[in-house]
Structure 1
Amino acid sequence: MTEPVTTDAGPTGTANKRVRRPRRGVIAFLILGFVVLAIAFPVTAAVLLDEAPYLQIFVSYPGADVAVTTTVLLACSQMASLVGVGAMVHLLFLRDSPARRARYLPQGFEIRVLRIASGTWAACAGALVVFEALDANGAPLDRLGIGYALPFLWEASDAPKAWTISLVAAMIVLFASFFADTWTGLLIPLWVSAIGVLAPVVTGQVLVGPDHDFGGDAAVFQTVAVHTFFGALAVSGLRVASGRFVAPETLRRLFLVGAVALPVIIVTDIVIGLFKLAGSPIVASLTGWLIMIGGTCLLVATGALASGWWLGRRARLRAGSVTGFLTVGTVATAGWVGAGVAMTRQPPPQYFVPTSIEQVFMGFEVPDAPTLGVLFGQWRPNLLLFGIAAAAIIVYLVAVRALRRRGDRWPAGRTAAWLAGWVVVVVATSSGFGKYSAPDFGVHMIVHMSLNMLAPGLLVLGGVITLLLRAARPDRGKPAGPHDWVTWALHWPVLRVVYNPLIVFVVFVGSYYGLYLTGIFGDYMRFHWAHQLMNVHFLIVGYLYYSLIIGVDRPPRPLPHIGKLGYVLAAMPFHAFFGVILMT
């Protein structure tokens, strides 16, 4: 990249490099691409479809004003949340600042993008709370003039509730964008934004039809990967359009993120496509054509990234080529968003496949009694937990390999414990035990105990934090990397609160009573996403609890040895009392 740059130092002293003039042609191309592909395309589909999609699912037509406004808001909200998450990914992981400066957030381009994107996301999500309540219930706009109409419509559908969660998440991100000044200040907004973008997805089309457990889990991975990579790609595209410099290290890290995220997006796109088509030919429905359009945009984005990587490998990457592939990738992202929004305006084929009661709630049938042969022999992959386990094992083994190549040793027992812990997770959730954990309460409790006690007890013996710190050595002369990120997170005051022994104890013990002795359990078992949320909750809480007792890694609030013994003994009566309640 050879164009002249200037340095605009922010309040924190972090340099914000940029070229002298914005690229007006690139800006116009990005705006045109967003308007045409992300907004005009799904709006045209909504107008042409008219009332047909509503009548197919026996919902009254709310009118073109509600349908079109909802479509526009969906497109703007998705692009805004995508850019907002991408801005946080840039600020947290893609900057080329050394560790001593990267710990503080520069008040520059990415922060401004984050504020605008999160504000737009919040405004659109707030409007969607109202318009999704109308659209999902087939109520016209003038229905809002009736007293108590909006609360009734909000309660009658899951869509406005999901967008309420998204609104809260967007407001938290917007608030943090004005007051966060350190690296750790964006960790909570990043986590909250993941919840905000997932809520409308997991309660949408992927929650309906046979095999929706596969579709829902694939949608979770795809949503996270899309917002991480496409969001970062879009922010880079906006950066070059505004005339700013994109550092070579930032591009290198963007290529690395793409190398991980793009295969995930492609594989999950195939899984979701097969789920939605439900065996019908891809050209036999509008959903199939939209899947092909989205796939084409995905291939264009992949090709743009591959071309940039290829030029970089041969030292031919110049400012013009960087602008080219980032701009094409950003426009392809807008096209992918537009195809996805258009897809939500049309019921997919899986809506109309004959579905049993078991498939309505779980996505699959369980015709056999849960005998030992069935529990150990009938496997149905839990894509979410299996994917998490695979990623955790790969990262761990890569870190062990990095240590060994450097000549350092790592205890084989810790590696075995880490692998065994994730094997327990996979067996508990993907074997017949996981398959029957929804229809059979006894099997569910076996899975619960495995995820809450057995697996965490093994995982904490793996010492993953210690391994990461040793494998990723700090280098003050280079940009901040994994060692710095882990170190900053460990010294984060919020983590000290999370690891407070009293809080961990109350959550670990209280989860049983709060879940099973209230109506939460009955409500959660109706939805696949809620069942998965329970599984993840069990695993995380168990990990926190056992890391304070037998963990290899030093927690932010370590207990003395006598305290660890008392910690274990104190939990026993609560578990015994809970067991007596269940048995009686």
Structure 2
Amino acid sequence: MALFSAIAALVFGGGAAAEPIADPGDVVRFGLPLAKLVVNIGAAGTIGALALAAFAMAKEKPEFGLALDIAAGSAAVWAVASAATGFFSFMTLYLQPISLDDRFGDLLATFLTQTEIGQSWLWTALIAAALTVLCFAVRNQTLVLFMAVGGVLGLIPMALQGHAGGTETHDAATSAIWLHIVFAAVWLGGLLTLVISARTLDNGRIVPLIARYSTLAIVSFVVVAASGYVSAEIRVGTLDNLLTPYGILVLVKVGALGALGLFGVIQRRYLVGRMSATGSRKYFWWLVSAELAFMGLASGVAAALARTATPQAQVSASDVEGSTPAELLTGAPLPPVFSPDRLFTLWNFDLLWIIICGFGVFFYLAGVWRLKKRGDSWPVLRTVLWIAGLVVLFYITNGGVNAYEKYLFSAHMLAHMTLGMMVPVLLVPGAPITLALRTIMKRDDGSRGPREWIMLATHSSYFGFLSRPLVAAVLFVASLWIFYYSPLFRWATEDHLGHQWMIIHFLLTGYLFVQSLIGVDPSPHRAPYPLRLLVLLATMAFHAFFGLSLMTGTGLLLADWYGAMGWGSDALADQQAGGGIAWSVGEIPTVALAIAVAIMWSRSDERDSKRYDRKADRDGDAELEAYNEMLAARSTTRTRP
């Protein structure tokens, strides 16, 4: 089905039509999108199988080894297809017959190592090849999770290719493509793994696996639908463009995804219960056959869409004649001149963080609802703080600050201070780990669900080391200096991938630091309150010194970036204003932390006093009596001649 739909979509959309000038030939024109289709299927089989092995299957059962074998075979297909795609991509530029002379080999090597597209496919092939070896060699559950993460990261080079948007939509398009292919891979690959494994599983085993896969499939459907909408909106633009060949193919793909969503509802609501009651698999095979058919249709159309001309022109602003310095640097026009009100009226949406914040609120509230349903309580203040933290995170990653931080250092610093200090101060008291451990069901079949992975992480020696206040403070402060005075700052400013890394890094280091001071979630180490205050005061001093160094500095960070934007304002003055933000705004959450630590210290002393009082009431203050007798005995011994 996937192959047929891909060829039909290529013919209908013109994705494989002959070029009027410099045509590479039928083999290359059809071979490139079909090779990409095989890449997508191989990546899906790898990531989906690893995801099920990590989150649904038990290591002691044959299903676990079979899933890793499926992942290994799929990774091998992924690697070979990636190499073929890279070769076909080269042939679209070479435009001459294949030869075996040195010149052909040198040009191919140059393409793979010196051009962006060639490097992307080379890295993809190497990552897939490495996963092939690891999936054969590794049978450790923890390492399987890391391999799944590696597979997800291996899709990044693919996300940077294709119709990545133009002008200011490039970053949004890149995030949407990556999310789309990652969760489509989990969805399709998980189903393929279930189908292949089904004949080796009895009904007592396949039913819970289907239920666990259904959870992954529902999440994947939501993300695929959202990312697909964003991608279509960027490339289609208007409703009239839906009647173009590209728009019609998009509608076909939407229809296929809608049918898959319906099948997912049927699977979760009816199939699992029916199989548990009757033991019959007839409906299972009917349903998965239909699902695979529609997934094949969607996959084939998606491969063809990547080669079909979009009705909305995807031209970077840097390619337009007469572009400004800012457009040449960023590929997008400058936003409106900065004013405080535009921080709340201008938006620059990032789908990745919209989804993270949305799921963060949904699953937290679902956990609270589950507690209430069984009669347990959960402090309202924790819920309010958690939601407030995610709202602030949503604003910083999607609002006016995100719209200006690429152009103004002061806006960038405001985002940094909020991500590293304010957001963690709100999120940590929400105690998400405690809520998860109280609400997520415990597994008893040897598999690792979310609860088991959380327990493993929080009880690991690595977390124990990182959660120490001194270690967390060093990470927090050192990363501040290293980031701004190393190439990391340029990478995070100029590259969308670096920008996402920056957000994650500052959130994690800030969260670890705040958790070590006022966290209520389980932690291997609880430092004494005097040490916590001492570490906090030392951190405040280093933080303030960093801000003052920017305020008084005369050297411009990234002078060829911030100094070339063409705002008509002083970039150095803006950098000094950013230093003031680092010193002032960054200290407000720190003061709040100091107050919180002092309050917790006071309450801890009160609890200790009450505990001693209750103990004294029970034993007649035996401990004090024994202490007095010991002093009296020492006094008697000293007074003897």
TM-score (norm 1): 0.80
Identity, in percent, stands at: 24
Q: Distance in 2 between matches of 1:362 and 1:543?
A: 31
Partner of 1:432: 400
Post-superposition CA distance 1:368-403 (Å, at most 9, x none): 221111112323433322221111111111111212
| 1:260 equivalenced with 2:219 (yes/no) | yes
Q: 1:404 to 1:299 in 2, by over 3 A?
A: closer
Determine if contact 1:217/1:383 at 8 Å carries over to the other structure.
yes
| 1:417 equivalenced with 2:385 (yes/no) | yes
Partner of 1:250: 209
Q: 1:280 to 1:288 in 2, by over 3 A?
A: same
Instruction: Tell me which amino acid in the other structure corresponds to 1:234.
Output: L
Determine if contact 2:419/2:507 at 8 Å carries over to the other structure.
yes
Partner of 2:117: 159
Q: Over alpha carbons, which structure has the higher Rg? A: 2
| TM alignment of 1:63-142, pairs within 5 A | 63-95=25-57, 106-132=63-89, 135=92, 142=99
Partner of 2:144: 186
Partner of 1:296: 255
Post-superposition CA distance 1:320-344 (Å, at most 9, x none): 2211111221232222222111122
Higher-RCO chain (CA-CA 8 Å, sequence separation at least 6):
1
Partner of 2:582: none
Offset of residue 78 of structure 1: 0.9
Instruction: Tell me which amino acid in the other structure corresponds to 1:315.
Output: R
Q: 1:562 to 1:281 in 2, by over 3 A?
A: same
3-state SS of 2:517 partner: coil
User: Which one of the candidate residues 181, 190, 194 is aligned to 1:223?
Assistant: 181
Determine if contact 1:418/1:459 at 8 Å carries over to the other structure.
yes
Post-superposition CA distance 1:82-110 (Å, at most 9, x none): 11111122222334xxxxx5588855421
Partner of 2:282: 320
| TM alignment of 1:368-379, pairs within 5 A | 368-379=336-347
Determine if contact 1:218/1:383 at 8 Å carries over to the other structure.
yes
User: Which one of the candidate residues 259, 275, 284 is aligned to 2:234?
Assistant: 275
Q: 1:155 to 1:516 in 2, by over 3 A?
A: farther
Q: Distance in 2 between matches of 1:238 and 1:46?
A: 35
Partner of 1:467: 435
Q: RMSD in angstroms over aligned alpha carbons?
A: 3.7
Q: 1:420 to 1:73 in 2, by over 3 A?
A: same
Q: Distance in 2 between matches of 1:331 and 1:182?
A: 34
Q: 1:272 to 1:249 in 2, by over 3 A?
A: same
Q: 1:107 to 1:527 in 2, by over 3 A?
A: closer
Q: Which runs of 5+ in 1 are unaligned?
A: 1-32, 96-100
Q: 1:429 to 1:308 in 2, by over 3 A?
A: closer
Partner of 2:163: 205
Q: 1:46 to 1:461 in 2, by over 3 A?
A: same
3-state SS of 2:337 partner: coil
Offset of residue 439 of structure 1: 1.4
Partner of 2:107: 149
Q: 1:509 to 1:412 in 2, by over 3 A?
A: same
Higher mean displacement: 235-244 or 449-458: 235-244
User: Which one of the candidate residues 311, 328, 351 is aligned to 1:349?
Assistant: 311
Q: 1:156 to 1:487 in 2, by over 3 A?
A: same
Q: 1:267 to 1:382 in 2, by over 3 A?
A: closer
Q: Distance in 2 between matches of 1:196 and 1:140?
A: 31
Instruction: Tell me which amino acid in the other structure corresponds to 1:553.
Output: D
Q: 1:252 to 1:65 in 2, by over 3 A?
A: same
Instruction: Tell me which amino acid in the other structure corresponds to 2:224.
Output: I
Post-superposition CA distance 1:43-87 (Å, at most 9, x none): 9978842336xx7xxxx6555554444333311111011111111
Partner of 1:537: 505
Q: Distance in 1 between matches of 2:502 and 2:160?
A: 15
Determine if contact 1:501/1:557 at 8 Å carries over to the other structure.
no
Determine if contact 1:184/1:488 at 8 Å carries over to the other structure.
no
Q: Distance in 2 between matches of 1:445 and 1:487?
A: 35
Q: 1:104 to 1:512 in 2, by over 3 A?
A: farther
Instruction: Tell me which amino acid in the other structure corresponds to 2:383.
Output: T
Count of equivalent residues: 541
Offset of residue 442 of structure 1: 0.9
Offset of residue 240 of structure 1: 4.3
Instruction: Tell me which amino acid in the other structure corresponds to 1:340.
Output: A
Determine if contact 1:80/1:120 at 8 Å carries over to the other structure.
yes
Q: 1:158 to 1:457 in 2, by over 3 A?
A: farther
